[in-house]
Amino acid sequence: MGPPGPAGVAGLPGATGPAGVATGITGPAGPTGVAGPAGVTGATGVTGAAGPAGGPTGATGPTGATGVAGPAGATGATGAIGPAGATGATGTAGGILNFADFFALMPPDNAATVAPGTDVSFPQDGPTSGSSITRTSPSSFNLAAIGTYQILFQCSVTEAGQLILTLNGADLAYTVVGRATGTSQMLGMALVQTTVINSILTVRNPAGNSTALTMTPVAGGTRSVSAHLVITQFA
């Protein structure tokens, strides 16, 4: 067989074939694209109804440590006065706190006359109770405690004259007793209040009087006549 000959001239185009199927089969999904930018936030929705209550309240936790005390607050206004309390029981009645009796016997005591401005001696000690009334000399007496004392004194004297109590050297003008005539005793009684401890009391022939007083011995008979100074502390 010999070699092929040259190609012939192209023939005329054939008629157009019928149209193919319009839509092809869907291809597989492509990969996810890059996320776009966030959109604008939408308006807040309506609040939903309250949900049901939760479970029961839990147990109380342990008390915490006490904190540092704060500064004191301002003083509050004074409250109203409360009602009066019940009356207390009546206390025990008061009584004599101390007493002492000092005396003289004529003769032999007060052998010399008692000149104006000098004191009557009561050199002997009678009954006593307590320790706040003592003598400092035959004619002066110490009242140790501040308080109220009843003073009683009596003396038999021969002359008309006066007697007065002194306290710490000062005349107690409300205690003067006197006698113009006769031979009766001079009797004195007064309450004396002390304002300092260890006050000194005396019975004195007042200064300025002209008559020295004789403490009458054996007045009215043969026995020695007594003179007394009785001091009683009540308060």
pLDDT digits (tens, 9 = 90+) for 48-91: 787 777 778 888 888 888 888 889 888 888 888 989 888 877 65
* Whether the predicted pLDDT of 92 surpasses 60: no
Does residue 58 form part of some domain? no
Q: Number of structural domains, the chain?
A: 1
Does residue 45 form part of some domain? no
Does residue 135 form part of some domain? yes
- Residue 143: CATH number of its domain: 2.60.120.40
Lowest-pLDDT choice from 2-6, 91-95, 96-100, 130-134:
91-95
Does residue 85 form part of some domain? no
Does residue 89 form part of some domain? no
For residue 135, the enclosing domain spans: 98-233
φ, ψ at 175 (rounded to 5°): -110, 5
Find tokens 């019975």 and name the residue.
Answer: 203
Question: What torsion do the CA atoms of 171, 176, 182, 184 make, to the nearest 10 degrees?
Answer: -100
Cα distance between residue 208 and residue 117, in whole Å:
7
pLDDT of residue 58: 80
Summarised one tens digit per residue, pLDDT across range 132-178 is: 999 999 999 999 999 999 999 999 999 999 999 999 999 999 999 99
